[in-house]
Amino acid sequence: MLRFLIFNVGHGFCAYAVTPSGASILFDCGYDDELQFYPSRYFKDRGIVNIHNLVLSHFDQDHV
């Protein structure tokens, strides 16, 4: 089963998926200063050290 998380980043986008085979995919890297959500901190705090694929929708600051 595909596991998929969509994060509340206010403006921008950030989502994370893990495939049934264990491959991880990060969709955009949006963050939220007000909520103190930063993808790098989220993954580090959970011991996630590898992301197998990165999908960037476009190169705006709130996505990259």
pLDDT, tens digit, 9 for 90 and up, residues 8-37: 998 889 999 999 999 999 999 999 999 999
**pTM (predicted TM-score):** 0.88
27 contacts 17 by C-beta, under 8 angstroms: yes
Reply yes or no on whether the pLDDT at 48 is more than 90. yes
Q: What is the mean pLDDT of the chain?
A: 93
3-class SS string, 32-54 = ECCCCECHHHHHHHCCCCCCCEE
